[in-house]
Amino acid sequence: MTGNAEIVKNALKAGLTVPAFNVPYLPMVAPVVQATVDTDSFSFVATSRIEWYKFEAKGLAAVLEALKPHDRPDYVRLHLDHVPVIDEDNQRVDYAAVLREAAALGYHSMMLDGSRLSLEENIAATREAVAIAHGAGVPCEAELGAVLGHEAGPPPPYEELFASGRGFSDVEEARRFVVESGCDWLSVAIGNVHGAISGVWRDQKKVEARLNLDHLERLRDATGVPLVLHGGSGVQREYVLKAIKKGIAKVNVGTEIRQAYESALRSTRSVQAAQDACYDRTSRLIREYFELAGTRKTVLGAA
Protein backbone atom coordinates (compact mmCIF):
# COMPACT_ATOMS: atom_id res chain seq x y z
CA MET A 1 0.00 0.00 0.00
CA THR A 2 1.36 3.40 -0.98
CA GLY A 3 2.21 5.32 2.19
CA ASN A 4 1.28 8.90 3.02
CA ALA A 5 4.86 10.09 2.48
CA GLU A 6 4.89 8.83 -1.10
CA ILE A 7 1.33 10.06 -1.74
CA VAL A 8 2.26 13.63 -0.79
CA LYS A 9 5.46 13.42 -2.86
CA ASN A 10 3.42 12.23 -5.84
CA ALA A 11 1.06 15.16 -5.42
CA LEU A 12 4.00 17.56 -5.28
CA LYS A 13 5.55 16.16 -8.46
CA ALA A 14 2.25 16.33 -10.32
CA GLY A 15 1.45 19.90 -9.24
CA LEU A 16 -1.50 18.63 -7.18
CA THR A 17 -2.33 18.64 -3.49
CA VAL A 18 -3.82 16.31 -0.89
CA PRO A 19 -6.68 17.93 1.04
CA ALA A 20 -6.78 16.95 4.72
CA PHE A 21 -10.35 17.30 5.97
CA ASN A 22 -10.64 17.81 9.72
CA VAL A 23 -13.58 16.05 11.39
CA PRO A 24 -14.46 17.72 14.72
CA TYR A 25 -17.68 15.67 14.82
CA LEU A 26 -17.56 11.92 14.28
CA PRO A 27 -20.58 11.79 11.90
CA MET A 28 -18.53 13.93 9.48
CA VAL A 29 -16.20 11.02 8.72
CA ALA A 30 -18.64 9.11 6.49
CA PRO A 31 -19.59 12.03 4.19
CA VAL A 32 -15.96 13.11 3.80
CA VAL A 33 -15.03 9.59 2.69
CA GLN A 34 -18.03 9.33 0.37
CA ALA A 35 -17.33 12.70 -1.24
CA THR A 36 -13.74 11.65 -1.87
CA VAL A 37 -14.82 8.34 -3.41
CA ASP A 38 -17.52 9.93 -5.57
CA THR A 39 -15.08 12.48 -6.99
CA ASP A 40 -12.41 9.80 -7.61
CA SER A 41 -9.91 11.85 -5.65
CA PHE A 42 -7.70 11.26 -2.63
CA SER A 43 -7.79 12.91 0.79
CA PHE A 44 -6.76 12.55 4.41
CA VAL A 45 -9.29 12.27 7.21
CA ALA A 46 -7.62 14.44 9.83
CA THR A 47 -8.13 14.85 13.54
CA SER A 48 -6.35 17.21 15.90
CA ARG A 49 -6.14 17.43 19.66
CA ILE A 50 -8.18 20.64 19.77
CA GLU A 51 -11.13 18.82 18.20
CA TRP A 52 -11.26 16.31 21.06
CA TYR A 53 -11.54 19.00 23.73
CA LYS A 54 -13.27 21.93 22.01
CA PHE A 55 -15.62 19.87 19.83
CA GLU A 56 -16.87 16.25 19.81
CA ALA A 57 -14.28 14.13 18.01
CA LYS A 58 -13.53 12.37 21.33
CA GLY A 59 -10.01 11.17 20.53
CA LEU A 60 -7.73 9.16 18.30
CA ALA A 61 -9.41 5.82 18.88
CA ALA A 62 -12.90 7.26 18.37
CA VAL A 63 -12.01 8.73 14.98
CA LEU A 64 -10.42 5.45 13.93
CA GLU A 65 -13.55 3.54 14.93
CA ALA A 66 -15.75 6.03 13.06
CA LEU A 67 -13.68 5.44 9.93
CA LYS A 68 -13.62 1.64 10.04
CA PRO A 69 -17.11 1.02 8.56
CA HIS A 70 -16.33 3.44 5.71
CA ASP A 71 -12.62 2.81 5.26
CA ARG A 72 -11.48 3.04 1.65
CA PRO A 73 -7.65 3.10 1.80
CA ASP A 74 -7.38 3.66 -1.94
CA TYR A 75 -9.21 6.96 -1.40
CA VAL A 76 -8.57 8.14 2.17
CA ARG A 77 -6.00 7.73 4.92
CA LEU A 78 -5.87 8.84 8.55
CA HIS A 79 -3.72 11.79 9.54
CA LEU A 80 -3.07 13.05 13.06
CA ASP A 81 -3.16 16.82 12.77
CA HIS A 82 -1.95 19.44 15.30
CA VAL A 83 -0.51 17.87 18.41
CA PRO A 84 0.80 21.00 20.14
CA VAL A 85 3.69 21.19 22.55
CA ILE A 86 1.98 24.25 24.03
CA ASP A 87 -1.72 24.42 23.25
CA GLU A 88 -4.03 27.33 22.42
CA ASP A 89 -4.66 27.83 26.16
CA ASN A 90 -0.89 28.05 26.83
CA GLN A 91 -0.82 24.66 28.57
CA ARG A 92 1.99 22.16 28.11
CA VAL A 93 0.93 18.95 26.37
CA ASP A 94 2.34 15.43 26.72
CA TYR A 95 2.76 15.32 22.98
CA ALA A 96 4.94 12.22 22.91
CA ALA A 97 2.18 10.17 24.54
CA VAL A 98 -0.34 11.33 21.93
CA LEU A 99 2.02 10.53 19.06
CA ARG A 100 2.80 7.09 20.48
CA GLU A 101 -0.91 6.37 20.78
CA ALA A 102 -1.43 7.33 17.14
CA ALA A 103 1.45 5.08 16.12
CA ALA A 104 0.02 2.17 18.09
CA LEU A 105 -3.41 2.67 16.50
CA GLY A 106 -1.94 2.67 13.00
CA TYR A 107 -2.37 6.29 11.94
CA HIS A 108 -0.75 6.84 8.55
CA SER A 109 0.96 10.18 9.30
CA MET A 110 1.19 12.62 12.18
CA MET A 111 2.02 16.21 13.03
CA LEU A 112 3.74 17.95 15.89
CA ASP A 113 3.06 21.67 16.33
CA GLY A 114 5.97 23.31 18.13
CA SER A 115 5.29 26.72 16.62
CA ARG A 116 4.80 28.37 20.03
CA LEU A 117 8.33 27.36 21.04
CA SER A 118 11.66 28.98 20.32
CA LEU A 119 13.38 27.74 17.17
CA GLU A 120 15.78 25.52 19.12
CA GLU A 121 13.00 24.03 21.25
CA ASN A 122 10.84 23.45 18.19
CA ILE A 123 13.69 21.62 16.46
CA ALA A 124 14.31 19.43 19.51
CA ALA A 125 10.65 18.54 20.03
CA THR A 126 10.14 17.87 16.32
CA ARG A 127 13.20 15.64 16.23
CA GLU A 128 11.62 13.57 19.00
CA ALA A 129 8.30 13.43 17.10
CA VAL A 130 10.09 12.38 13.92
CA ALA A 131 11.74 9.52 15.79
CA ILE A 132 8.34 8.29 17.01
CA ALA A 133 6.73 8.61 13.57
CA HIS A 134 9.59 7.04 11.65
CA GLY A 135 9.75 4.26 14.22
CA ALA A 136 6.19 3.44 13.18
CA GLY A 137 7.06 3.78 9.49
CA VAL A 138 5.04 6.95 8.88
CA PRO A 139 5.92 10.56 7.97
CA CYS A 140 5.95 13.47 10.40
CA GLU A 141 4.76 16.99 9.67
CA ALA A 142 5.95 20.03 11.62
CA GLU A 143 5.15 23.73 11.73
CA LEU A 144 7.33 26.81 11.64
CA GLY A 145 5.89 30.29 11.92
CA ALA A 146 2.58 31.34 13.43
CA VAL A 147 -0.62 30.35 11.64
CA LEU A 148 -2.92 32.33 13.93
CA GLY A 149 -6.60 31.77 14.66
CA HIS A 150 -6.89 29.12 17.37
CA GLU A 151 -6.17 31.52 20.20
CA ALA A 152 -8.92 32.70 22.55
CA GLY A 153 -10.82 35.84 21.58
CA PRO A 154 -11.21 37.63 18.24
CA PRO A 155 -8.53 37.13 15.62
CA PRO A 156 -6.26 40.13 14.90
CA PRO A 157 -7.07 42.34 11.88
CA TYR A 158 -6.09 40.34 8.81
CA GLU A 159 -4.77 43.18 6.66
CA GLU A 160 -2.48 44.22 9.48
CA LEU A 161 -1.13 40.67 9.72
CA PHE A 162 -0.56 40.30 6.01
CA ALA A 163 1.05 43.69 5.46
CA SER A 164 3.44 43.25 8.37
CA GLY A 165 4.28 39.62 7.63
CA ARG A 166 3.70 38.92 11.30
CA GLY A 167 4.19 35.25 12.03
CA PHE A 168 5.40 34.39 8.52
CA SER A 169 7.82 31.45 8.39
CA ASP A 170 11.39 32.72 8.18
CA VAL A 171 13.25 31.34 5.16
CA GLU A 172 16.65 30.79 6.79
CA GLU A 173 15.06 29.34 9.91
CA ALA A 174 13.06 26.99 7.72
CA ARG A 175 16.19 25.82 5.94
CA ARG A 176 17.85 25.02 9.26
CA PHE A 177 14.69 23.57 10.78
CA VAL A 178 14.16 20.93 8.09
CA VAL A 179 17.79 19.79 8.17
CA GLU A 180 18.06 19.57 11.95
CA SER A 181 14.59 18.23 12.76
CA GLY A 182 14.31 15.70 9.94
CA CYS A 183 10.62 16.47 9.36
CA ASP A 184 9.02 15.14 6.18
CA TRP A 185 6.55 17.97 5.56
CA LEU A 186 6.55 21.54 6.79
CA SER A 187 3.49 23.66 7.55
CA VAL A 188 4.29 27.26 6.67
CA ALA A 189 2.77 30.64 7.44
CA ILE A 190 2.48 32.83 4.34
CA GLY A 191 -0.73 34.76 5.01
CA ASN A 192 -2.99 31.82 5.89
CA VAL A 193 -4.94 31.78 9.17
CA HIS A 194 -6.80 29.12 11.11
CA GLY A 195 -10.53 29.35 11.64
CA ALA A 196 -11.36 30.77 15.07
CA ILE A 197 -12.61 28.12 17.49
CA SER A 198 -13.51 30.14 20.58
CA GLY A 199 -16.86 31.65 21.56
CA VAL A 200 -19.00 33.40 18.95
CA TRP A 201 -16.00 33.69 16.62
CA ARG A 202 -16.18 30.01 15.70
CA ASP A 203 -19.43 30.58 13.77
CA GLN A 204 -18.27 33.61 11.82
CA LYS A 205 -17.23 33.49 8.18
CA LYS A 206 -13.49 33.34 7.80
CA VAL A 207 -11.60 36.25 6.33
CA GLU A 208 -10.71 35.87 2.64
CA ALA A 209 -7.02 35.34 3.16
CA ARG A 210 -4.31 35.87 0.58
CA LEU A 211 -0.96 34.14 0.25
CA ASN A 212 2.47 35.66 -0.29
CA LEU A 213 3.48 33.49 -3.24
CA ASP A 214 6.97 34.96 -3.56
CA HIS A 215 7.66 34.07 0.06
CA LEU A 216 6.30 30.58 -0.58
CA GLU A 217 8.75 30.10 -3.45
CA ARG A 218 11.65 31.10 -1.22
CA LEU A 219 10.53 28.61 1.44
CA ARG A 220 10.14 25.86 -1.14
CA ASP A 221 13.60 26.43 -2.54
CA ALA A 222 15.18 26.63 0.93
CA THR A 223 13.59 23.51 2.40
CA GLY A 224 13.25 21.01 -0.44
CA VAL A 225 10.35 19.21 1.26
CA PRO A 226 6.61 19.18 0.56
CA LEU A 227 4.99 22.21 2.16
CA VAL A 228 1.61 22.32 3.88
CA LEU A 229 -1.02 25.03 4.01
CA HIS A 230 -3.04 25.11 7.23
CA GLY A 231 -6.19 27.19 7.43
CA GLY A 232 -7.16 26.34 3.87
CA SER A 233 -10.80 27.36 4.31
CA GLY A 234 -11.50 30.84 3.00
CA VAL A 235 -8.21 31.46 1.21
CA GLN A 236 -8.94 33.08 -2.13
CA ARG A 237 -9.03 30.28 -4.69
CA GLU A 238 -6.64 31.88 -7.17
CA TYR A 239 -3.97 31.99 -4.47
CA VAL A 240 -4.50 28.38 -3.44
CA LEU A 241 -4.25 27.06 -7.00
CA LYS A 242 -1.04 29.01 -7.58
CA ALA A 243 0.37 27.90 -4.23
CA ILE A 244 -0.24 24.25 -5.14
CA LYS A 245 1.92 24.73 -8.22
CA LYS A 246 4.62 26.28 -6.03
CA GLY A 247 5.06 23.50 -3.48
CA ILE A 248 1.91 23.24 -1.33
CA ALA A 249 1.35 19.47 -1.49
CA LYS A 250 -1.16 19.23 1.36
CA VAL A 251 -3.92 21.65 2.37
CA ASN A 252 -5.83 21.42 5.66
CA VAL A 253 -9.56 22.21 5.53
CA GLY A 254 -11.62 22.48 8.69
CA THR A 255 -13.83 25.54 9.07
CA GLU A 256 -15.53 25.23 5.68
CA ILE A 257 -16.97 21.76 6.24
CA ARG A 258 -17.42 22.16 10.01
CA GLN A 259 -19.62 25.22 9.65
CA ALA A 260 -21.67 23.52 6.92
CA TYR A 261 -22.27 20.58 9.25
CA GLU A 262 -23.05 22.74 12.30
CA SER A 263 -25.38 25.08 10.43
CA ALA A 264 -27.46 22.22 9.01
CA LEU A 265 -27.58 20.50 12.39
CA ARG A 266 -28.80 23.67 14.11
CA SER A 267 -31.48 24.40 11.53
CA THR A 268 -32.81 20.85 11.11
CA ARG A 269 -31.70 18.99 14.27
CA SER A 270 -31.02 16.11 11.91
CA VAL A 271 -27.61 14.42 11.85
CA GLN A 272 -28.43 13.05 8.40
CA ALA A 273 -29.11 16.56 7.08
CA ALA A 274 -25.85 17.75 8.63
CA GLN A 275 -24.00 14.86 7.00
CA ASP A 276 -25.59 15.72 3.66
CA ALA A 277 -24.41 19.32 4.03
CA CYS A 278 -20.91 18.13 4.87
CA TYR A 279 -20.93 15.82 1.84
CA ASP A 280 -22.08 18.60 -0.50
CA ARG A 281 -19.49 21.08 0.75
CA THR A 282 -16.66 18.55 0.63
CA SER A 283 -17.61 17.49 -2.90
CA ARG A 284 -17.71 21.10 -4.10
CA LEU A 285 -14.35 21.84 -2.55
CA ILE A 286 -12.75 18.85 -4.27
CA ARG A 287 -14.38 19.51 -7.65
CA GLU A 288 -14.55 23.28 -7.90
CA TYR A 289 -12.14 24.80 -5.39
CA PHE A 290 -9.17 22.43 -5.65
CA GLU A 291 -10.01 20.94 -9.08
CA LEU A 292 -8.97 17.48 -7.90
CA ALA A 293 -11.76 15.26 -9.26
CA GLY A 294 -10.30 12.27 -11.09
CA THR A 295 -6.75 12.71 -9.75
CA ARG A 296 -6.69 9.74 -7.35
CA LYS A 297 -4.57 7.39 -9.47
CA THR A 298 -2.02 10.11 -10.12
CA VAL A 299 -1.64 10.81 -6.41
CA LEU A 300 -1.38 7.12 -5.62
CA GLY A 301 1.25 6.73 -8.31
CA ALA A 302 -0.91 4.33 -10.34
CA ALA A 303 -1.56 6.58 -13.34
Annotated catalytic sites, by residue? 81
C-alpha to C-alpha distance for 213 and 204, rounded to whole angstroms? 26
- Cα 109 to chain center, whole Å? 11
Do residues 248 and 1 lie in contact, with contact meaning Cβ atoms separated by under 8 Å? no
C-alpha to C-alpha distance for 34 and 75, rounded to whole angstroms? 9
- Residues contacting residue 42 through CB under 8 Å, at least 6 positions apart: 7, 18, 36, 75, 76, 292, 295, 296, 299, 300
C-alpha to C-alpha distance for 87 and 91, rounded to whole angstroms? 5
Which 3 state secondary structure label does DSSP give 188? strand
C-alpha to C-alpha distance for 252 and 273, rounded to whole angstroms? 24
CB neighbour burial string for 142-157, b if at least 16 within 10 angstroms, e if fewer: bbbbbbbbbbeeebee
C-alpha to C-alpha distance for 178 and 161, rounded to whole angstroms? 25
> How many Cα atoms sit within 13 Å of 246 on the Cβ side?
21
